[in-house]
Amino acid sequence: MSSIVERWIQTCRRELLDRTLIWNQSHLPCALHEFENFYNWHRPHRALGQAAPLRPLPEPISVPARIRYLEVRRRDRLIGTLHEYRRAA
């Protein structure tokens, strides 16, 4: 179990704490909570076939006509430190 925790801590340090200025002790739990949500609901994981742990992969688009008009929207989280990309409905 410690190897899993060590991996998560490395990822958290590399993707969040090395890029974010933490203002005070009350800001740190908010930033960690936001990163935890991003990590579990959006961030793709190679071991899971590019799915997030708590979200299944979307259905692939197999019709070429739909791929041509595919629109992707970006949502910034933590003041632009993290980015989420989703297909527009």
pTM over 0.75: no
What is the pLDDT tens value at each position of the chain, 89 positions in all?
Answer: 688 889 889 988 998 888 888 889 998 999 999 888 888 888 877 777 777 787 777 777 777 777 777 778 888 887 777 787 777 65
What is the domain extent for residue 41?
2-87
Domain count, the chain: 1
Separation of alpha carbons 73 and 58, rounded Å = 15
> Which helix or strand (DSSP H or E) is residue 37 part of?
helix 27-41
- Phi and psi dihedrals of 59, rounded to 5? -65, 135
Please give the single-letter amino acid code of residue 85. Y
